[in-house]
Structure 1
């Protein structure tokens, strides 16, 4: 393989099988259009009209192919999905079987990632051991000489001065040529990354293929830039929401606490809190602010901070706490409503006094019973001119756990509300006995049962909040 080979046009010669240690090339995306060869005139058609017809047919064919590929790309809505689709489409356009894309925005804000087509994690690891200056994508990303635009390497092993490590990796993975393009947009400074397609034999794309892949990658880079901005915004919103919630739960004698929280991609207004109160008491709260995005997150932070202040002053009366919170919301956020539930707990007596404002009822889980704690029917905060509802008192048995949650937990099931409540009750009833001594294990079991296959952590417009308090 070290002997030089005459260059060939990509897509004409059949490819050689991948070596046994290399992951088989990924199959073409189902339904992906194949790139037709440029039409040629009928035998004997040499007149100007026939040539013009052939040229127009070629243009129409190319435009149709680009339209289909960009339509497929536009339907992707996550960065990994977009990068994979771009690699598949690019491989079809340049006649390659394998490739990789490196996302590494020049502004340094990330996210940085590398995704391969027909290359496994180990293969990508081998490629990363090659000095960047010896790789086409490295020269593009580092802004080295020769990395200003496309980089075609039609016969790597015939090049003078090929880096020894690059030669070793190329021979190991079985590629002999590459074609790389930068991922850049007109409106953003610097590059987003680079894409490289690999050939098993010496080859390079012809002029028509280069034109098509150039147009496609330009569109793909614009789509990537939009998704990148969206991903950064989502990450920022999630970080803000997490920072506004308790960084750790308090230690109060007589009760064990655990919390699980997953923020939606747009930043939701669901929250929880647990704070020690005078006389060895404990305050537990959950709530949800209407809306999403920065304004909802900010409103959630203000309500949580205000509730903490009211709870310290008059926590033994949950109705008074929620009444003050409702007045604050009505005066400062007149266009917004919220649900909330506050529980005043006396761990030594295992006594709970709670009040809710349009919120889901808590769930009591124990050895002999699993039941919802019915609170009085009341409107959400901010819906009425004057909010008022009676409180409810109950006593927990030793070893029983109270689950407080927001309606996002129910909505993520995709079931009607009554069916979602039934599933939540069944999930809590089915907690194995060895797990009932750990509120965190109880919360995890309920989430796994109610939202299987990692549904609790997938992107959704609904936040998930689950606060568990086990009384000893």
Structure 2
């Protein structure tokens, strides 16, 4: 028995196949032209309904699997729009993310709509669009709002009519995005947890069928749960990045004879990499980079304590970098015996273009100039907190006019994914390849090195490594 062809919605074939048989199709099958055994009709009807349910569940399973593989909020919102458009038979749509708790982030993302198109939609008074009424928690919007023919809608706001005509859409279907079971008893709790609303736009008068509404409603409730998890993760990452940035220098000092630039990216988990640049007596300058073991709030807090302690030791005895790191090691061992750290401290005398360096388990700085690009050979030593008494000799470097010293943390090397020797070679090649036009600007040098060493960028959300790059160009 052949199933009737599923109806078209807004000129687009339904992506989700309808159940193969309905009561009407059974009646057709019992006509004289197609005789059937009445005893078999109920069983055939049940089988067809089961086949339709299985098809729907399979479709939902595939779509939710695609959504579950998304790892960022923007990626998940785009996937939600694509899947919802397929389920309701629309071509375009938008998501308005506006969490009810007021803590953000607030954003609008479109499918098949340019940024300018979204701007036009935002000019419509909020009370005149269904997503605005949903976000305001008005009654009658919990199960979605269908507007099958915008131009025929009585009392349509003139601005809404103008935007619809400009963008070429004639109907819409809007759903709230709220984690929860969707039952009447959970309406109040859902409204308090509402994340936003999803809108799908039709090019001609149309509305989703009852079956399509049911499927997209199930999908939207699952999507809202996934979005809620990603939202919390996004907020945690933002909080960690803010806390880490607040513990680092708000601005770099201005010291005659040297130009400074710094680049820092915190991992989503919150790492303990840090840098510092502080003026010292006798027109000297202290430069430091380091990394604390671990991740999360405890590592960020330990990083802040370690940096503050190093600043104090540098002011008191910065001309002796070995003494500075020795004091820091003693403090770390006494106050946080379960933690270790790497550090590199340089005492710079810009007038003499001389840098005295000492390192504790840290990667060597890189010297970049017109005639040379080379790593500074610092003494190999253990990280702080791993020996009963730390001490290693310092090294003195004379910098030529126009040369730049690059200090960095191991996260820059680890994010390459290469073995250590290849990561060092990549960093060296990136520094050597800085164009001549950029070499007078330490910020441009740092950006070029980062782009070359990490071509995929330093904002990747799956990396557990911080990135710190501090550039000092001597005049």
Counting only pairs closer than 5 Å after superposition, residues 49-198 of structure 1 correspond to structure 2 as 49-186=43-180, 189-198=192-201
Give, in angstroms, the shift of residue 130 of structure 1. 1.2
Which residue number corresponds to residue 467 of structure 2?
A: 464
Does the CA-based 8 Å contact 1:11-1:95 persist in structure 2?
Answer: no
- Unpaired runs of at least 5, structure 1: 1-9, 17-27
Which residue number corresponds to residue 19 of structure 2?
A: 38
Q: Give distance in 1, aligned partners of 2:111 and 2:442.
A: 43
Structure 1 moving runs of 4+ over 4 Å:
none
Which residue number corresponds to residue 315 of structure 1?
A: 318
Pair 1:366-2:363 in alignment: no
Which residue number corresponds to residue 42 of structure 2?
A: 48
Does the CA-based 8 Å contact 1:272-1:285 persist in structure 2?
Answer: yes
The TM-score normalised by the length of structure 1 is 0.91
Q: Determine which of 395, 398, 403 is the counterpart of 2:401.
A: 398
Q: Give distance in 2, aligned partners of 1:184 and 1:193.
A: 7
Q: Determine which of 423, 428, 435 is the counterpart of 1:420.
A: 423
Which residue number corresponds to residue 215 of structure 2?
A: 212
Give, in angstroms, the shift of residue 239 of structure 1. 0.5
Aligned residues: 448
Which residue number corresponds to residue 306 of structure 1?
A: 309
Which residue number corresponds to residue 6 of structure 1?
A: none
Q: Give distance in 1, aligned partners of 2:371 and 2:210.
A: 76
Q: Give distance in 2, aligned partners of 1:438 and 1:168.
A: 50
Give, in angstroms, the shift of residue 436 of structure 1. 2.1
Which residue number corresponds to residue 327 of structure 1?
A: 330
Q: Give distance in 1, aligned partners of 2:446 and 2:179.
A: 45
Deviates more, 1:241-250 or 1:385-394: 385-394
Which residue number corresponds to residue 349 of structure 1?
A: 352
Q: Determine which of 409, 413, 420 is the counterpart of 1:410.
A: 413
- Unpaired runs of at least 5, structure 2: 1-5, 31-35, 181-188
Give, in angstroms, the shift of residue 398 of structure 1. 1.8
The TM-score normalised by the length of structure 2 is 0.90
Q: Deviations over 1:137-177 (max 9, x none)?
A: 11111223433431111122222111111112212222221
Which residue number corresponds to residue 15 of structure 1?
A: 11
Give, in angstroms, the shift of residue 339 of structure 1. 0.6
Q: Give distance in 1, aligned partners of 2:459 and 2:264.
A: 9
Give, in angstroms, the shift of residue 457 of structure 1. 3.2
**SS of structure 1 residue aligned to 2:440:** coil
